[in-house]
Amino acid sequence: MEISSILIIAFIVIMDIVLIVKDIKNKIIYSGTKKFKIAIPLMIVIFVGITLMNSNYRMQDIIVCVAILPLAFVGNKTGITEKGFLFNSYVTPWDKVESYSLDDQGEKCILSFKTNMGARRIIFKLEDKADIKKYLLSINKLRYVKK
């Protein structure tokens, strides 16, 4: 096996471990969804399928495919945690949020929050809107903006 293949496999395994530890550490209070929630898992599964359907794959191709599969299902969570907003396994702390708003769109509640890195949107069930609003208003570091 070549050194470049070993480095790629090591990098992927380290990413898997980091994302799994982050998912375990960040307990979600209110779970949300993203607009393109299925995109990353679908791309990874298609990549693995195409790689394995190729007639001349090598042993390191199989190892990379096995190592990359957890990335399809880990690191794709969004919601509200005790420490901040969780978006793609990255927690934006309450201090970094400049403003947020809650809007209704059909049968969904959309939480939009703005940071210095840009704006993000998390979609929740409409039934959870009152609980989410009450929880977020109890956090003193956040500023609510009505649209």
Cα four-point dihedral sign 46, 125, 83, 85: positive
Q: Are residues 54 and 88 in the same domain?
A: no
Structure tokens at 61: 């191709």
Residue 1's pLDDT is 65
Number of domains forming the structure of the chain? 2
Q: Are residues 66 and 92 in the same domain?
A: no
Cα 65 from Cα 131, distance rounded (Å)? 41
Residue 66's pLDDT is 78
Sheet containing 118-125: which strands, arranged edge to edge? 99-105, 108-115, 118-125
Structure tokens at 63: 């190892």
The DSSP letter of residue 128 is G
Q: Are residues 22 and 55 in the same domain?
A: yes
**CA gyration radius, the chain:** 19
Residue 12's pLDDT is 82
The domain of 115 spans 78-137
Residue 147's pLDDT is 54
Residue 24's pLDDT is 78
Residue 100's pLDDT is 87
User: What DSSP string describes 50-113?
Assistant: HHHHSTT--HHHHHHHHHHHHHHHSS--EEEESSEEEETTEEEEGGG--EEEEEEETTEEEEEE
Residue 144's pLDDT is 65
Residue 17's pLDDT is 86
- Provide the CA 139 distance to its chain's centre, in angstroms: 23
Residue 7's pLDDT is 86
The residue ranges of the chain whose pLDDT is under 70 are 1, 55, 75, 143-147
| 109 falls within a domain | yes
Q: Are residues 56 and 85 in the same domain?
A: no
| 143 falls within a domain | no
